[in-house]
Structure 1
């Protein structure tokens, strides 16, 4: 295989119906992979899979439902074959102040952002290691690296995802399975569009490169980390934030 060539590989992407998840699914698919799109929004997910066409499979599941996650993995394997690439992208991101976060919302954010990623990774990594190949990419966030005045549960969950990335990477490194994280800053997605053009411009002005990221830019990095060429990279976090956080 050559760089960014994924023919013969099968990927599962969570939160793939729209936004960044859809861009990641499209990027993997465009490079030759079969892609299972996992999302709770059946209509939007089906539309995205239909747009991709052949080699795409829409699977509807609530990521907070652990029993359904096992069924979804089995459905992906039945439809497309063994999963070689897992992208844990799905996330809840309610922006609420510290004193306004209730226990139910805290638990819901962690169920989707952390627990689902943990159990999906564990379910799919075992057959990956038995085959001697696997690529797992966790979509974290700048919010998991820097403090924000709102969305504490989102930020803490993304920090937990970074720690989980390293734990699985250490466990699987000797078996040909890599585990890495991508931590984007602000991305041009439907969620960002809700804040209005004026606020978008104000936020973009605070980014050293002077603009918000395009989803395809994050998708390109995920695609590279999914290839054979990235086999010596594991346990890493890739910052893709336009220079907001440099280290």
Structure 2
């Protein structure tokens, strides 16, 4: 169902997986979708599919860490009302001894500074309009830790901390900020660990299955839409009960 007021949306890492599904979900509800990804072919494909379906979509090919390029794309699009900080890379089940500085820095550049760069790029217009919705895509591993890939888990925990802090900082400007921490989702990134690993992780939750990217996208449309207007500084957890955590 379309929202009564058409908005513009920037989704980072929208060339595949959750990001692509989110771009398509928002295209059915909002007038303009700005598709960001570092992979030019992916951006071209997703934008092409959206425009062929009659949606208003444009692309931004750059690293999510490039604030200048993001800001230029946002300005060219006429501003952004909603930002989904989705861009991310996997940790590949590395032990602490296997994580060198380059691997650590890459995770933090994309998951943490990427959130900063994209958010800073959209803030001028949001503040001027006194309206904005921002969601950082975190992970259940950012809530309870993980026995492998501690750099990934800690970077996702940082994205939750950013959402809570920005919710406080930006509320006076009419901007709501939340995080969404999904459990296992079937996507190109998670399939990089192998089909068997994906199946095994799905068995650790209570519903015994993985989520499809479209299920996560539906949550994002909800929390940034009219029915989500009383929610800020929160962590949404579509994770199949893996884990059940306290406040």
What TM-score does the superposition give when structure 1 sets the normalisation length? 0.92
Assess, with a 3 A threshold, how the Cα gap between structure 1 residues 199 and 18 changes in structure 2: closer, same or farther: same
- Whole-angstrom CA distance in 1 between matches of 2:191 and 2:111: 22
Alignment match of 1:191 (pick from 183, 189, 192): 189
- Whole-angstrom CA distance in 2 between matches of 1:243 and 1:60: 36
Contact kept? 2:9, 2:30, Cα under 8 Å: no
Deviation per CA, 1:205-245, whole angstroms, max 9, x where unpaired?
22101110111111011111111332211000001100111
Q: Is the deviation greater in 138-147 or in 119-128? A: 119-128
How many aligned residue pairs are there? Answer: 241
Alignment match of 1:122 (pick from 106, 120, 123): 120
- Whole-angstrom CA distance in 2 between matches of 1:199 and 1:109: 21
* Post-superposition offset of 1:49: 1.0
Contact kept? 1:140, 1:158, Cα under 8 Å: yes
Structure 2: stretches of 5+ with no match in the other structure:
none
Alignment match of 2:88 (pick from 87, 91, 99): 91
* Post-superposition offset of 1:4: 5.7
Assess, with a 3 A threshold, how the Cα gap between structure 1 residues 120 and 214 changes in structure 2: closer, same or farther: same
SS in structure 1 of the partner of residue 201 of structure 2: helix
SS in structure 2 of the partner of residue 240 of structure 1: coil
Residue number in structure 1 paired with 2:144: 146
- Whole-angstrom CA distance in 1 between matches of 2:15 and 2:8: 17
SS in structure 2 of the partner of residue 144 of structure 1: helix
- Whole-angstrom CA distance in 1 between matches of 2:2 and 2:157: 28
Question: 1:1-247 to 2 correspondence within 5 Å?
Answer: 5=3, 7-53=5-51, 54-64=55-65, 66=66, 69-78=67-76, 80-95=77-92, 96-247=94-245
* Post-superposition offset of 1:89: 0.2
- Whole-angstrom CA distance in 2 between matches of 1:119 and 1:194: 27
* Post-superposition offset of 1:34: 0.9
- Whole-angstrom CA distance in 2 between matches of 1:212 and 1:28: 22
- Whole-angstrom CA distance in 2 between matches of 1:84 and 1:245: 32
* Post-superposition offset of 1:129: 1.9
- Whole-angstrom CA distance in 2 between matches of 1:196 and 1:14: 24
Deviation per CA, 1:120-170, whole angstroms, max 9, x where unpaired?
212312321221110001000011012212211111101011111111100
Q: Is the deviation greater in 156-165 or in 225-234? A: 225-234
